[in-house]
Structures are given as C-alpha cells and as structure tokens.
C-alpha cells in the first residue's frame, strides 16, 4: 500500500512505494547496464497486449479492439505503480508526521508499436500521435475529483532512467500539486501581481528580441536555452500564444509543437550523439484545486503558461546539487544555443 | 568568468561556470567509466603536492612545511573552480534577468594521504581528522564578509559523482544562502514560531521513542532513516544536544560524531555492498547574513540544528523527480532501518 509522506524539514512530499518495495538485494542498481529487451520478449509489442494490464486509452486503426493489435499509441497502467486508483484519498498524521493515502494513477504511454523507433528519430506523424494521446488522457484524468496534477514525462536513454527498451512515456496523476509546480505558480503569481503580465510571455518576447539563446522558432513555438539553465544544453519549447492549459491545445497547435520538438530533439541527438535526456510537460493544475490566495484575485489562465522542458543528462548531480538545490552548469546557454543553431539536421 | 544566474520560473540560482566550460565534444559523460587513476599519476599523493594549487589549510605532522609531505588532511583550491575568490561580489541584472558575480571558494579536502583508503573503511582517527578539517576551514571561510553559506560534501563512488579515485571531500563557499537551506530555515522558523521548540529536537525525540526508524544511537548522536526519506536507505546523523552551528562543535563531539558516522557508513557498505553515496553537512549560515523576517524575533541558534545526511544512490532520478521535485522511494524507511539495525559490522 503506497503512501505519501511529508518531509517537514525540506517541505517536500515523498511517495513511499511499498508496491515497488525493494529489499537490499533487489537493487540491481538502475545505473548498471540492463540487457536490451529483445522484440520477442517485449511486452509493448503489438500481439503481446496480454502481457500488460488492460489499456485505459489508445489511438487505434478503425475496427480494431482494445488490447488487440491495431493501435498507434497505447496507454496502460504501470505494472508496478507508485500510486494506485484503488487506494483511498485521505490526509492524516502519525504523531508529528503528516501523510496521505497513496491514491493516484501511474501509467505507461507506449508511443509507437515499432520496437526500433525512438523519439530522437520520430516523424512528425509519430510526434503528433504521441502529443495527442498526452492531451486526451490528461483531459480524462483531470476529470477525477482528487487529482491535483498530472505529470507527463519521457526518459530517453538508460542514464535518464529509462528501464525498458521499447519507446514509452509515463504519466503520474497526483493527489497534490508537486512542489516544483507550486513554486512556478507562485513565481508567475507574484510576477503577474506586480506587472499584470505573464512571466513566460515576457521571457520569450525578450529572448526573441535578444536572439542569443534561441535555437529555433516557428509561427507558434520558440525553442531556447533558458538564461539560468540548470542543465547543459537544457531547452524549453514554449508556445508563443499565451495558454495555461495543455488540455485545451488545438490539433493545429499540436502539429506545430511536433515540428518544434522534432527540431529540438534532432539537434540534440546530432550535436551530442544521442544523449540521454528527460522531457517533461508542464501545465496548469485543474483550476478547482489551486491553492487559495486571499491576496490574489486573478484566474490561473491569466498567469501560467504551459511548456515543455528537455534536460540532457550530461553530468551526474552530486552532493553539492542534492544538498543545496544549487546547480552548476558548465556550458553557458548562449554557447549551447549557438552550437544547436548551427548544427544542420534533416527534417521531413 | 563564472557567474550566478537567477532562474525566476523555478526560483533557484544556477552557477554558470565558464571556467569549466564544456563544448559538446568535451562531454566524456560522467556516467561513463572513468579509468581508475593509478597511484603514480595521482595528484593527491604525498610528494605530488606540486601538481595541485597551493594548500589553504592542512593538518600536519610537527615540523613539516606547507605543500610538502607530512599532512594528514590537506585542503587545496579546486583546479577547475565553479566559483573563485578573485571574482567580484556584485548583484546586477541583464534586462529582465538577474545575476551575480561568480565570487566564492571551491576547494578539495584530501581526507587522507593513503591512496587506497576510503570512507567506507575509515578508522575513527581518520574520521576525526576529516571532520576537524571541515570545522577549521569552515570557521575560516565564515570570516569572509560575502560568504553566506559553506556547503561541505563528499561523493563516494562514481555513480555519486566522484571523478578522482583518491578519497576527497569538497566545499563550495557561496555568496548566497542556497534554496534548500533557505527552505530548511523557513521550516524551522515557522515550527519554532508556533511551538517555541526546535523542529529537529522534536523529531529526534519522537524517533527515539518510536524506535522503528532508528539505526543507532550513542550518548551524543542518533542515526536514523527519516520518516519521508527521499532516497532508499537515506540516513540522518543528528546531535542530541541542540546546536545550530557546526563550527562551534567541540573535539569531544567530533569523536562521537565519528563513531556514529563510522557505524552508519559501515552498515551501508556491508548491507548494500559498497554503494555509491553522497554525504552532506548542514549547518546554520553565518548569523549576519540571515534573511531578515520582520515577524520573527528569535536568533537562529534557537531554531536551526546542524546535522549530516547520507543519500545512497541506488536509483536514477528521472523525468518525474526532476520535473516535480516529488521523489519515489521504493524502500520504506522502517524497513531500511530494520535491515541496517540487524546487520553486524566490526568497528574498532
């Protein structure tokens, strides 16, 4: 039975995941080489649907049935979930310690039926299908009363935490707004309170004028390396139109998003030779679950701005970073952006 | 010229370290196997002092000279420093972005002259010397006007970010209080404001009564796995006497600290088979540099409580953890503590 526990000293919540419980000898450490799962043993192959939990969402060819081949993107519950929908949603304490029930959703998004295709060489069509599945499933989960946030993420390469070879993304739907998102909302709020403008709108307008940290821009998106990038070659992919909520994105926007992400990822791939990276989608929480602020009267759609971030994993976070939350980035974003602007890639 | 940059969206500061500047092809990624540096090429060997910058502090045998053999612990500037004392301390902005000069200290603490000894088998004497050096150098750096915090840390094992084989710790003296320490101060402050008691004093008293998360305790220290551990087998080593400031610790306390840390580390070593881990020392910032809070009138010595934390690196932080600051811990601390209590080790 998983539970959420509050770490009062650090003001963070932690998922204590007994379902995935690991005893000392269960740690074939993640960073050890994992055998590449062959096609024949891969539970994510079409025709092997019986090896996974039943699908909760799929984009399928006409006249095909759930849990049978014919899907383009397939979403299934994680076999070893960190949080579970059967668990109760409750808040309680254990003497001085606070905790919550391990309610939530942990799902795997199988991006493609093809064992050998990965995000570093996805076509626009593949990206469009993947992002469409993200949007549709997020929409469904935001209907659940006690879901406060849905984090969608992708781990590319084993050093970025990927453990199964076949390309997939994951989502975890949480009964709390995570700390980092809470901080971003707070920052956007105080910026907006003072200036009545959106923080990310201001930032991308400034970056477009400056140019030095911009890697690419199309009619609807900008790809840039943030001024205070915590990771070398870190990238943000941000829509130029202000919109807080990814579930409201149109098909047309998903097409332009896919173009921008394809360029970002292909450039990283070529420049850094298929580096491991994490890709995270950030969006506003469902409005009903926002923390109430008596000093602030604006709706969240005025202040949050959805975006995608990409963290290449070129270095290990060591004691300094973990102890302080201070990051050291050895490649200034202006240089990262210059290298990425200059490298030539082929796109469709 | 390094600089500190403010990441407004995430409310963190980042060191952009041009000194360590890395171009794309400079990334022989840290996580790739590094060749073990042999004794003959090791810059940390006695007799090879000329290979390093000049020492800034050492514990030495009588009648030996700086930068010559005869030291037991030797502290030198990092050859590729993230921050530098020659840099100017200033705060400025670049249009909408805030930044600071890259002023600070980045030093290497060579824990032992012996190439083959590591913290997982240090004697009490070796630990006492190491912690004494930490205290003395920290005391010196806290005299520097624009140093707001000194983070001392140790990376054990390459998966924990260690890059040179010979045992060493590091310190970075910063011109700002880091975010994580700021959060801890804030948490201790609001706890104290409400209860007029220290948060960590309360926590260790509770854990001593409960017992299930305690690994070891001696007259002066407790070793336990925190209720909401973010890392599997995470440990805190906390002094039972309330004291905010590690620089004020007595020699007698350092002896008991060394006993507690030796047990913690040897137990982890035996149970998890020499796991990679990070060890961080947390203490209060110099009083003069504390953020002023008009609602709070207590001195920091009433509220902060120095301690050591140990994070074994049994898993990779992936997109979920990096995107949300939510951690998933697959080994409940009660189980971790039970395994660690039961495992037998030899100490002197």
Q: Which residues form the domain of A270?
A: 179-342
Is B34 part of any domain?
no
- Report the number of distinct structural domains present in chain B: 2
Is B97 part of any domain?
yes
The answer to whether residue A172 neighbours chain B at the CB level (below 8 Å) is yes
Q: Tokens 């304490």 label which residue? A: A93
Report chain B residues whose CB lies below 8 A from the CB of A162: 318
If asked whether residues B304 and B317 sit together in one domain, one would say yes
Q: How far is the C-alpha of B120 from the C-alpha of A293, rounded, in Å? A: 49
Q: How far is the C-alpha of A111 from the C-alpha of A169, rounded, in Å? A: 7
Q: Which residues contact B281 (CB under 8 A, 6 or more apart)?
A: B134, B151, B152, B153, B246, B306, B308
Q: Is the pLDDT of residue A295 over 80?
A: no
Is A347 part of any domain?
no
The answer to whether residue B327 neighbours chain A at the CB level (below 8 Å) is yes
For range A313-318, the mean pLDDT: 92
Is B302 part of any domain?
yes
Q: Which of B8, B159, B328 sits opposite A82 (nearest CB)?
A: B328
If asked whether residues A165 and A217 sit together in one domain, one would say no
For range A26-36, the mean pLDDT: 55
Domain boundary among A120, A145, A174: A174
pLDDT in tens, B198-250: 999 999 999 999 999 999 999 999 999 999 999 999 999 999 999 999 999 99
Q: Tokens 């008009």 label which residue? A: B294
Sort strands A3-7 and A12-16 into parallel, antiparallel or unpaired: antiparallel
Interface test with A, best of B3, B11, B14 (most A CBs within 10 A): B14
How do the residues of chain B divide into helix, strand and coil, expressed in percent and rounded to 5? 30, 25, 45
Domain boundary among B112, B144, B174: B174
If asked whether residues A310 and A161 sit together in one domain, one would say no
Provide the token pair at A187. 């920052």
Is A253 part of any domain?
yes
**Full-model pTM:** 0.94
If asked whether residues A117 and A201 sit together in one domain, one would say no
Instruction: Report residue B60: phi and psi, to 5°.
Output: -125, 155
- The answer to whether B278 and B317 have CB atoms below 8 angstroms apart is no
If asked whether residues B264 and B336 sit together in one domain, one would say yes
What pLDDT is stored for residue B27 in this prediction? Answer: 76
If asked whether residues A110 and A189 sit together in one domain, one would say no
Domain boundary among B123, B141, B174: B174
Q: How far is the C-alpha of B284 from the C-alpha of A178, rounded, in Å? A: 27
pLDDT in tens, B280-312: 999 998 876 666 666 666 676 778 999 999 999
The dihedral built from the CA positions of residue A238, A240, A243 and A245, taken in this order, carries a sign that is negative
Q: Supply the ipTM of this predicted assembly.
A: 0.94
Nearest of A117, A118, A107, A114 to residue A44 by alpha carbon: A114
The answer to whether residue B200 neighbours chain A at the CB level (below 8 Å) is yes
The CATH number given to whatever domain includes residue A151 is 3.30.428.10
Measured in angstroms, the CA of B16 and the nearest CA of chain A are apart by: 5
Q: Which of A11, A228, A330 sits opposite B20 (nearest CB)?
A: A330
If asked whether residues B56 and B152 sit together in one domain, one would say yes
Sort strands B12-16 and A327-329 into parallel, antiparallel or unpaired: parallel
CB < 8 Å from B in window 26-65 of A: 27, 29-31
Provide the token pair at A248. 């409201």
- The answer to whether B227 and A7 have CB atoms below 8 angstroms apart is yes
Interface test with A, best of B25, B320, B327 (most A CBs within 10 A): B320
User: A175 vs A13, A99, A106, A145, A189, CA distance in Å?
Assistant: 11, 12, 12, 9, 22
The answer to whether residue B228 neighbours chain A at the CB level (below 8 Å) is yes
Nearest of A223, A265, A221, A259 to residue A243 by alpha carbon: A221
What pLDDT is stored for residue B245 in this prediction? Answer: 93
Q: How far is the C-alpha of B290 from the C-alpha of B292, rounded, in Å? A: 6
Percent of chain A exceeding pLDDT 70 equals 92
Provide the token pair at B139. 């005391």
Q: How far is the C-alpha of B162 from the C-alpha of B34, rounded, in Å? A: 10
Report chain B residues whose CB lies below 8 A from the CB of A330: 17, 20-22
Provide the token pair at A32. 């050890």
Report chain A residues whose CB lies below 8 A from the CB of B323: 151, 153, 178, 180, 278, 280, 282, 309
Measured in angstroms, the CA of A115 and the nearest CA of chain B are apart by: 22
If asked whether residues B104 and B186 sit together in one domain, one would say no
Q: Which of B160, B203, B330 sits opposite A96 (nearest CB)?
A: B203
If asked whether residues B243 and B257 sit together in one domain, one would say yes
If asked whether residues B96 and B82 sit together in one domain, one would say yes
Is B30 part of any domain?
no
Q: Which residues pair with B4 in a beta bridge?
A: B15, B100
Q: CB distance A30–B279 less than 8 Å? A: no
If asked whether residues A90 and A195 sit together in one domain, one would say no
Is B230 part of any domain?
yes
The answer to whether residue A332 neighbours chain B at the CB level (below 8 Å) is yes
**With bands split at pLDDT 50, 70 and 90, how would you rate the model's confidence at A31?**
very low
The answer to whether residue A201 neighbours chain B at the CB level (below 8 Å) is no
pLDDT in tens, A101-151: 999 999 999 999 999 999 999 999 999 999 999 999 999 999 998 999 999
For range A44-62, the mean pLDDT: 97
Is A348 part of any domain?
no
- The answer to whether A264 and A204 have CB atoms below 8 angstroms apart is no
Q: How far is the C-alpha of A311 from the C-alpha of A318, rounded, in Å? A: 16
Query: B317: nearest CA in chain A?
Result: A161
Q: Is A181 helix (H, G, I), strand (E, B) or coil?
A: helix
- Ranges under pLDDT 50 in chain B: 30-33
Provide the token pair at B194. 């409400």
If asked whether residues B163 and B227 sit together in one domain, one would say no
């Amino acid at each position: 039975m998983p539970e959420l526990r509050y770490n009062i000293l650090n003001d963070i919540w932690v998922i204590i995941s007994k379902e995935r419980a690991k005893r000392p000898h269960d740690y074939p450490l993640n960073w050890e080489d994992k055998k590449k799962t062959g096609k024949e043993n891969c539970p994510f192959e079409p025709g092997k649907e019986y090896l996974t939990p039943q699908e909760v969402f799929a984009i399928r060819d006409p006249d095909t049935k759930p849990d049978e081949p014919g899907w383009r993107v397939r979403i299934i519950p994680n076999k070893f979930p960190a949080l579970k929908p059967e668990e109760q949603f409750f808040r309680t304490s254990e003497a001085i310690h606070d905790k919550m029930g391990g309610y939530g959703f942990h799902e795997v998004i199988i991006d493609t039926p093809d064992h050998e295709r990965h995000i570093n060489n996805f076509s626009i069509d593949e990206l469009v299908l993947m992002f469409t599945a993200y949007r549709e499933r997020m929409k469904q989960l935001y209907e659940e009363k006690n879901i406060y946030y849905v984090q969608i993420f992708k781990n590319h390469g084993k050093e970025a935490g990927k453990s199964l070879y076949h390309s997939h993304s994951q989502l975890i739907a949480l009964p709390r707004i995570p700390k980092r998102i809470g901080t971003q909302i707070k920052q956007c709020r105080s910026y907006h309170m003072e200036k009545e403008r959106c923080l990310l709108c201001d930032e991308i307008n400034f970056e477009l004028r400056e140019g030095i940290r911009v890697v690419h821009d199309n009619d609807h998106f900008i790809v840039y390396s943030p001024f205070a990038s915590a990771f070398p070659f870190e990238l943000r992919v941000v829509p130029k139109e202000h919109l807080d909520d990814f579930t409201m994105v149109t098909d047309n926007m998903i097409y332009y998003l896919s173009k921008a992400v394809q360029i970002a990822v292909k450039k990283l791939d070529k420049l850094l030779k298929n580096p491991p990276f994490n890709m995270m989608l950030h969006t506003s929480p469902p409005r009903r679950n926002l923390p109430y602020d008596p000093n602030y009267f604006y709706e969240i759609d005025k202040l949050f701005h959805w975006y995608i971030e990409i963290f290449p994993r070129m270095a290990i976070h060591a004691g300094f970073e973990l102890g302080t939350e201070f990051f050291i980035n050895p490649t200034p974003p202006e240089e990262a952006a210059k290298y990425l602007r200059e490298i030539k890639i082929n796109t469709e």
